[in-house]
Amino acid sequence: MDLILEGILKAFYLLVTFDPEVIKITFLSLQVSGSATLISLLIGISIGTMVALAEFPGRRFVVSLINTGMGLPPVVVGLFVTIFLWRNGPLGFLGVLYTPTAMIIAQAIIATPIVMGISLAAIQALPKNLRLQILALGATRFQMVWILVKEAKLPLLAGVMAGFGGVISEVGASIMVGGNIKGYSRLLTTATVMETSRGNFDIAIALGIILLLLAYFINLILTNIQQRERPR
Amino acid sequence: MNVPAPILEVDGLKVRKGGALVLDIPSLRLEEGEMLSLIGPNGAGKTTLLQALACLIKPSQGELFFKEKIVSSNHGLFQYRRRLAMVFQEPLLFDTTVFENVSSGLKIRGLKRAEIGKKVAENLERFGILHLVHRSARKISGGEAQRVALARAFATQPEVLFLDEPFASLDPPTRESLIDDLERVLRQTGTTTIFATHDRMEALRLSDRVAVMNRGRILQIGPPPEVMNQPLDEFVASFVGVETILTGRVSKKDKGSFLASVMGHEVEAVGEVELGETVVFCIRPENVTLSPSSPKGATSARNVFTGKIEKVIPMGLFYKVQLQCGFPLVAYVTGHSLEDLELREGKEVVASFKATSIHIVRKK
Amino acid sequence: MQKKRITCLGMIICLIFIFPSLCGAQKSIILATTTSTQDSGLLDVLIPVFEKKTGYFVKTIAVGSGQAMAMGQKGEADVLLVHSPAAEKKFIAEGYGVNRRLVMHNDYIVVGPAKDPAKIKGMKVSTEAFKKIAGAGALFLSRGDNSGTHSKEKAIWKASGIKPEGKKWYQETGLGMGQTLNVASEKNGYTLADRGTYLALKKNLRLEILMEGDAILLNIYHVIEVNPAKWPKVNAAGAKAFADFMVSKEVQDVVKTFGGEKFGSPLFFPDAGKQEEELGK
């Protein structure tokens, strides 16, 4: 119990004194997960919407693939990304293994199916004739999709939050592809694992608390966007 | 004689869904400024026809001409659709304010803010909902929502307006009030309108022409009195409210009129027929008069039959009386008549109808 | 309108944050080493010096000795700093590594609960101590992860003629040294640990040093360059630079005193230039 208390105090101390290493890894966690979520948002919402609106043979198969993707074990993703990014692997020429870029790639792969699956369901949940009504108002295909996405704002943002939540808390893939290199590819999650294995529980708990605070504030912002009421 | 060009014309329009032919319209013309209603049972193809005419669904075959120019997807169908508007049975409003909803069509067309403001106010006013302008679309009633949908449609000044059973989910008083307002606005703007409904009273009230549809085809199209009183076949007849449909064989012919044997009784009617031919009689219930058992005097009706009342069904403003006169016959009477004549089940009455009020359909 | 402007601003801010280090593919080398080496903190001191001196960016990947050598075998690392002599010799024999050079050593110790149920305190021969632990059926925690520590532990069991796998008192954690020490502390068990990690965690552990000083307990660190002949993509120049650095006098001096103030005695003993056989005498 007092371990947790120690951790809280340590967290407070680290934050208030702007401990440079903690600042750096917090910033990096935000950058990496933020970038990954942004990528997953762009790809996930666009493809999810397309699949929701289109009719083509094998559509149901594609939908089940997306739904399966939502449950992809992050560690497995990390393993496969590592194998691809190895020097002697197919994408080795990129030379991005053990860099934050690799972590963004892995996290994007983890988050995208989540956002895609939820977008798909969100668009499908809209009234069937809404699409026709928007077209009847003279919208181009692009305008129609944009309006539908705006109408499904509530569940779509829930999807983005789910994607972000999934990657800000991810550790297995991030360690594998990032290498947890001090001052370079160390995140809040990977640092927590490292400090725990070193037995520095107070620091580990402190980092955990900082991670929770970070996740909370980001989700607060997203929730505000989601729930913003129209005037009156 | 100059025939003005139709605003919308269809040639050999066919729509297939899942292999089955759900719409088959060899030809259809819509004149500028007219109001055409489509009536028919559920699944008749009314919605399919409307959506095909608005190019919201792709026909399997056939061509559509708008103001004599063919409509094709080469230049983007949205260009064509921007000249129309459609209102569905559900208001389908966006989750925003009434103002944003009504302006959505204008925003899509890229109009400037000042212009949008003007047009929105104008159309909200038209439908009596100016006071709701900043209200959230979630917080208005069903009737108000449908008014918003109509305001949204009129705001873009459509050249053709498509209405797909827009009043079907409203309660009668709301419906009445909305139909009044719509009628007024249509008279003001002169907008060409196609209006699908399964309520024939609505259709009668608002339209210049009525088209009766069934199984993807138009069975009959024409001005309301024509369709209502001269249905081309039994299906149309029963759909437009002809309650008594009887089959008879022509037994005697005279100049312009004839006698036919209907279930052993002789019925006189008017029309050009052959002896021995089988004809179908359509007798509208409004044309059947009931009188007490002993006839008072001569009536000008040639067809007078005694019968027994089998059932009296209240229909709101009047009563439907089902009789058996040797053949089944249906009459409509007012509440007053019901009391005066003491009509009730089992009572004997005399039913009469003019020979000229019978509409005959020749069996081919 | 207001909303659109805020969203645009938000997206621009995001873009500034995004793509943090898309750069960084300059001269870099991948150093595969062990978690205990990393956890000792020695590299945190040495690496920045090396980077400043040579301009190379060192990606320190801390895994177990087994995995480090596996990475070397696949050419996915440039230089190894490991402490698993038997496996290392095999690695060199099979041609995966070159220039195996001695860097430093520290030693392993046997730690356990103060109560010492197997009564091994003060013993001088590790094989005898292990026999006593087995005999008493006392709880023993193994790392079980093919790390250098695990290999050393297995060698001692083998030398004492005991097969502990599968026995109830023998538990394999599969965890790093620090965590294994914690488990041992929680469960009042014995374990083999490197002195450095033990000293670093001592304040949180309820374990004592019960056995030390046996020659077999020496933990010897070598630096090995991955063979560029087998894997042309390795950064051979960088690897050599690092290996040279580790055996340089400057570094050896740092190693000599590292940990002295914090733990009372230095964690490592510098050995560059010596022969392996000389050690411990």
Task: Render pLDDT for C38-52 as a digit per residue (tens, 0 to 9).
Answer: 888 889 899 999 999
Domain that holds residue A180: 2-227
- Inter-chain residue contact A182 with C60, CB threshold 8 Å: yes
What predicted TM-score, i.e. pTM, was given to this entire model? 0.79
Rounded-to-integer distance, Cα C241 and Cα C228, Å: 14
pLDDT, tens only, C168-211: 999 999 888 888 998 999 899 999 998 888 887 888 889 999 98
Q: Which residues does chain A have within 8 Å of residue B139's beta carbon, measured at their own beta carbons?
A: 232
Look at residues C217, C232, C252 and tell me which one is the last residue of a structural domain: C217
Domain boundary among C189, C217, C245: C217
- In 3D space, the residue among C146, C137, C209, C134 whose CA is nearest the CA of residue C173 turns out to be C146
- Residues of chain A in contact with residue C62, where contact means CB-CB under 8 angstroms, are 180
Query: Among residues A179, B314, A9, which one has the least CA distance to residue C67?
Result: A179
Q: What is the pLDDT of residue A87?
A: 86
Q: Report d(CA B7, CA B9) in Å as an integer.
A: 7
Structurally, chain C folds into a number of domains equal to 2
Burial of residue A194, with CB atoms counted within 10 A of its CB: 0-12 exposed, 13-18 middle, 19 or more buried: buried
Chains contacting B (3 or more CB pairs within 8 Å): A
Write phi, then psi, for B316 (nearest 5 degrees).
85, -85
Residues of A in contact with C234 (CB under 8 A): 87
Q: Which chain B residues are within 8 Å of A226, Cβ to Cβ?
A: none
Contacts of B88 in chain A (CB under 8 A): 129, 132-133
Chain C residues within 8 A of A184 when measuring between CB atoms: 21, 24, 57, 59
* Alpha-helical segments (H) within chain B: 46-53, 77-81, 98-108, 113-126, 142-155, 172-189, 200-206, 224-229, 234-239, 335-340
What's the pLDDT tens digit per position in A185-195?
A: 999 999 998 88
Spatial CB neighbours of A174, under 8 Å, sequence gap ≥ 6: A32, A78, A103, A106, A107, A180, A187, A189, A190
Residue C36 touches partner A, C-beta closer than 8 Å: no
Q: Residue A232: pLDDT above 70?
A: no
CB contact under 8 A, C231 and A201: no
A129 near B CB under 8 A: yes
pLDDT digit string, tens, across residues B227-244: 887 888 888 888 888 888
Weakest mean pLDDT among B193-207, B219-233, C2-16: C2-16
pLDDT score recorded for residue A229:
55
pLDDT for position B229: 78
Scan residues 136-175 of C and list those with Cβ closer than 8 Å to A. 175
pLDDT tens-place string over residues B318-342: 899 999 988 889 999 998 888 888 8
pLDDT of residue C11: 62
Instruction: Note the pLDDT of residue B200.
Output: 79
- A138 and chain B in contact, CB less than 8 A: yes
pLDDT of residue A168: 94
Per-residue pLDDT at B52 exceeds 50:
yes
**pLDDT score, position C4:** 58
C115-126 pLDDT, tens digit each: 999 999 988 898
**Domain CATH number, residue C244:** 3.40.190.10
Residue C25 has pLDDT above 80, yes or no: no
Dihedral angle of Cα B76, B80, B83, B88, to the nearest 10 degrees = -90
Of B92, B136, B162, the CB nearest to A232: B136
User: What rounded mean pLDDT belongs to chain A?
Assistant: 90
pLDDT of residue B77: 85
In a shared domain, residues C266 and C224: yes
C98 and C111 housed in the same domain: no
More confident residue, C278 or A66: A66
Residues of A in contact with B82 (CB under 8 A): 138
Closest approach of chain A CAs to the CA of C275, in angstroms?
Answer: 32
Please say whether the beta carbons of B113 and B152 come within 8 A. no
Residues C199 and C268 in one domain: no
Angle between helices C249-257 and C42-54 (to 10 degrees): 160
ipTM over 0.85: no
**Distance of residue A64 Cα from the nearest chain C Cα, in angstroms:** 32
Same structural domain for residues C191 and C127? yes
Flag whether pLDDT at A13 surpasses 50: yes
Determine whether the interchain pair A199/C60 forms a contact, defined as Cβ–Cβ distance below 8 Å.
Answer: no
The domain total for chain A is: 1
Q: Is the CB of A199 less than 8 angstroms away from the CB of C201?
A: yes
Q: Are residues C120 and C64 in the same domain?
A: no
Q: Are residues C262 and C190 in the same domain?
A: no
Smallest CA–CA distance, residue B91 to chain A, in Å, is 9
B 47-106 residues inside an 8 A Cβ radius of A: 51, 54, 56, 76, 78, 81-82, 84-86, 88, 90, 92, 94-97, 104-105
* C-alpha to C-alpha distance for C111 and C192, rounded to whole angstroms: 6
Is the Cβ of C248 closer than 8 Å to some Cβ of chain A?
no
Average pLDDT estimate for B4-25: 90
Cβ–Cβ below 8 Å for A199 and C19: no
Sheet holding B160-164, edge to edge: B84-87, B160-164, B192-197, B35-39, B209-214, B217-222
Q: Which residues pair with B313 in a beta bridge?
A: B320
Does residue C4 belong to any structural domain of this protein? no
pLDDT averaged over every residue in chain B: 88
CATH superfamily of B8-239: P-loop containing nucleotide triphosphate hydrolases (3.40.50.300)
Count of CB pairs separated by less than 8 Å, A with B? 60
- What is the pLDDT averaged over residues C233-249? 92
Give residue B124's Cα distance to chain centre.
Answer: 27
3-state SS, residue A232: coil
Most confident among A17-21, B99-103, C232-236 (mean pLDDT)? B99-103
A20 — pLDDT class (breaks 50, 70, 90)? confident
Domain that holds residue C237: 23-104+220-278
Q: What is the pLDDT of residue C148?
A: 83
With 80 as the cut, is the pLDDT of residue B251 above it? yes
Looking at the domain assignment, is residue A185 inside a domain?
yes
pLDDT digits (tens, 9 = 90+) for C47-69: 999 999 999 999 999 888 888 99
Interface residue C75 vs chain A (CB under 8 A): yes
**What is the rounded distance in angstroms from the CA atom of residue A191 to the CA atom of residue A170?**
12
Show the beta-strand stretches assigned E in chain C: 28-34, 57-63, 79-82, 97-112, 140-142, 170-172, 190-194, 208-211, 218-226, 269-270
Which CATH number is A108's domain given?
Answer: 1.10.3720.10
Cβ burial, residue B60 (10 Å; 0-12/13-18/19+): middle
**A232, part of any domain:** no
State whether residue A130 sits within 8 Å of chain B by CB. yes
Domain residue ranges of chain B, discontinuous segments joined by +:
8-239, 244-362
In a domain, C12, yes or no: no
Q: Is C23 on the interface with A (CB under 8 A)?
A: no
Nearest C-alpha of chain B: how many angstroms from A125?
Answer: 13
> Residue C244 and residue C258: Cα distance in Å, rounded?
19
Contact (Cβ atoms closer than 8 angstroms) between residue A163 and residue A114: yes
Q: Cα–Cα distance between B87 and B161 in angstroms, integer?
A: 8
Answer yes or no: is A16 within a domain.
Answer: yes
C205 and C125 in a common domain: yes
For the domain made up of B244-362, the CATH class stated in words is mainly beta
Tell me the pLDDT of chain C averaged across its residues. Answer: 86
